[in-house]
């Protein structure tokens, strides 16, 4: 049972609100794997073995991936791996990296749920938990732990513009 730590992780990027590359969900999803079974009628696929999914700047690597597409063209995916790896460029140009043993992706809502040994990293900021829900639209995180467990959040202070500009350049 997960115990929510209703920790919206406000500080984790509150000072620099950006979102995942907004155009990514409008781009085609490409899947490469050792094996895939695709049902064109139901728009569902099951892929296994070295699965690599790309959609715009988003890249997901997994051992198994189940995808579907609804009538409106929204894409949904569930994956598992040892671990599943996720990477995406944010509108700010920064990279977001994540890992977990399982994930659910809802393209209609822009939600990614990472489960089991999950972490998300942006620059030096790090969120670790048993379950992390990530809203790609607002870059809002919610980390949860199993009963008796804890989440871990590391926030690195942002350098002030005056600090980086005043340092001498070494040759």
Q: CB count, 10 Å around CB of 160?
A: 9
Coil, strand or helix at 23: coil
Question: Hey, what domains does the chain have and what are their CATH numbers?
Answer: 2-161 (2.60.450.10)
At 50-99, the pLDDT tens digits run: 999 898 998 999 999 999 999 998 889 999 999 999 998 888 888 989 99
> For 25, which DSSP code?
G
At 134-144, the pLDDT tens digits run: 888 887 889 99
Q: What is the pTM of this model?
A: 0.75
Q: How far apart are CA 61 and CA 79, in angstroms?
A: 9
pLDDT of the residue at 91: 81
At 16-25, the pLDDT tens digits run: 333 455 567 6
């Amino acid at each position: 049972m997960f115990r929510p730590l209703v920790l919206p992780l406000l500080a984790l990027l509150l000072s620099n609100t950006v979102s995942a590359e907004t155009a990514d969900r409008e781009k085609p999803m490409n899947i490469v794997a050792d094996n895939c079974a695709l049902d064109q009628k139901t728009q569902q696929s099951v892929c296994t073995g070295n699965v690599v999914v790309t959609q715009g700047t988003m890249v997901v690597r997994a051992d198994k991936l189940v995808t579907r597409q609804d009538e409106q063209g929204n894409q949904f995916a569930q994956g598992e791996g040892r671990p599943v790896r996720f990477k995406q460029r944010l509108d700010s140009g920064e990279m977001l990296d994540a890992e977990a043993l399982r994930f659910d992706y809802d393209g209609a809502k822009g939600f990614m749920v990472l489960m089991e040994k999950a972490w998300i990293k942006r620059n030096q900021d790090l969120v670790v938990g048993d379950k992390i829900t990530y809203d790609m639209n607002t870059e809002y995180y919610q980390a949860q732990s199993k009963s008796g467990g804890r989440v871990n959040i590391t926030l690195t202070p942002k350098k002030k513009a005056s600090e980086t500009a005043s340092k001498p350049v070494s040759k």
